[in-house]
Amino acid sequence: MTEKGRGPLKPTVISPPDRSRKAAREPAVARHEDAAEGAAQIPVKPTAIAGVERKRIAVDAGALRTLSPGLAGATVEAALRLLATFVAEKASERRAILWGHDLQRAHNDLVAETLTLSQAPVLRKAETYIRRMMDILAAIDIMAVCGHGNGGLGRYFKGMNDKIDSPAELSAAQAELDLLVRHMNEALDELLDLKDQLQRQVRKFEEIGEDADAAALAALFLSRHLQKDKAAVAQCFLERSMSLTQTVAQIRENNAVREIQIEQPVRMVGAIQNVVLVSMPDLLASIASVTSLTARKASLSPTEAGELNYKLRDFLNRLAS
C-alpha cells in the first residue's frame, strides 16, 4: 500500500531490551529488599543519653523533729514532701532566696483582701441603720406621748429637748423605723455573703500558715545539710527559714484581729435577723396603736403605757448587745 506522493510504507523496527542493564538493576532491587527485610528483623533499642542521676536527700521525720521539737505531725510530713523533690546538686542561691516566697506573697495579698472586706460598704450601711434605729428608740418617751409625763412643765420645755414625746413625733418616728427595717432586710443577704467570704479568708490564712511552717522547717534542714559543700546557699536557706517563721508568727498573732473582723458582720447579721426582723414588727404595731389612739383623742392607760415602754427598752437593750 502506498500513499499519494510518498514511497511505500516500511515496518517500524523496535530494538530488543538491553538485558545487561536489566541484569544490573535486578541485584540492586534484590539488595534493597533484602536490606528492608533485615531491618525489620533487627530489634529497636531505646536511645541512651548520658546524664547525672538525681540523688534525693536522705531524711526522716525524726531528724526534722530534732530540729524543731513540738511541731505538728502534719507539718513534719509536709516538710518531708518538700525535701523529697529537692535535688541537692542543683541547689543555688537563687533557688534558696525564692524558697517559700510564693507563700509570703500569697499572705500579703490575703491581708490586703481581708482589709478590703472588713471595710465593705454594706458594713457601713448596716452600722448606720442600727445606730439610727437605736437613736430613735432611745428618744421615744411613751409615757409622755400618752399624756402621763410631766404635764404642763413637760409641754413648756417641749421645744428644748430631743425627746420624741408627742403623737406627731411618734408617728414620724414610726415611719422612719419602718423604712430602716426594710433597708436592713435588703442588706441581710450582702452581710451573709460578707461573713462567708471572711470565714473563707480565715481558712486560707490557716493553710498558708501551715505551708509556711513546713517550708521554714525544710529550709532549716537544708541550711544544715548544705553547710559543708555550699555554705553561701546554706546561709540563704537559713535566712529564708527565719523569714518564713516570722510570717507564721504574724499569721498567728493576727488571729484575734481576724476574729474581730468576722465578728462584726456576724453580730450585725444576728442583730438584724434575731432582733429587728423578728421583734420589730410587733413593736411597730404597738407604736402604731398609740398613734391611732391619740388621733382619736384617746390614750393608753398608765399601766399599758408602762408595759409598752418596757417592751421598747428591752428591744433597745437586745439590739445594743
Q: Is residue 97 part of a domain?
A: yes
Query: What DSSP state is assigned to residue 55?
Result: P
Q: Is residue 304 part of a domain?
A: yes
pLDDT of 129? 94
Q: Range of 120's domain? A: 91-320
Q: Is residue 18 part of a domain?
A: no
pLDDT digits (tens, 9 = 90+) for 168-180: 999 999 999 999 9
Query: Closest Cα to residue 241, out of 207, 213, 209, 205?
Result: 213
Is 75's pLDDT higher than 80?
yes
pLDDT of 156? 46
pLDDT digits (tens, 9 = 90+) for 82-121: 999 898 888 999 999 999 999 999 999 999 999 899 889 9
- Enumerate the β-bridge partners of residue 140: 164
User: How close are the terminal C-alpha atoms of the chain, in Å?
Assistant: 133
Q: Is residue 54 part of a domain?
A: no
What are the grid coordinates assigned to 25, written together? 538493576
Cβ(305)–Cβ(148) under 8 Å?
A: yes
Separation between Cα atoms, residue 235 and residue 57, nearest integer Å = 18
Number of Cβ atoms within 10 Å of the Cβ of 106 = 16
Predicted TM-score (pTM) of this structure: 0.67
* Residue type at position 188: L
Under the banding of pLDDT at 50, 70 and 90, the label for residue 208 is very high
Q: Is residue 29 part of a domain?
A: no
pLDDT digits (tens, 9 = 90+) for 19-74: 545 444 455 544 545 544 544 455 555 554 444 556 677 788 888 998 888 888 99
Is 126's pLDDT higher than 60?
yes
Q: Is residue 103 part of a domain?
A: yes
pLDDT digits (tens, 9 = 90+) for 229-264: 999 999 999 999 999 999 999 999 998 888 888 888
Separation between Cα atoms, residue 104 and residue 302, nearest integer Å = 66
Q: Is residue 158 part of a domain?
A: yes
Polymer length of the chain: 321
Q: Is residue 67 part of a domain?
A: no
Considering its fold, how many domains does the chain have in total? Answer: 1
Query: What DSSP state is assigned to residue 72?
Result: -
Round the average pLDDT of the chain to a whole number and report it. 82
Query: Closest Cα to residue 129, out of 283, 260, 321, 319?
Result: 319
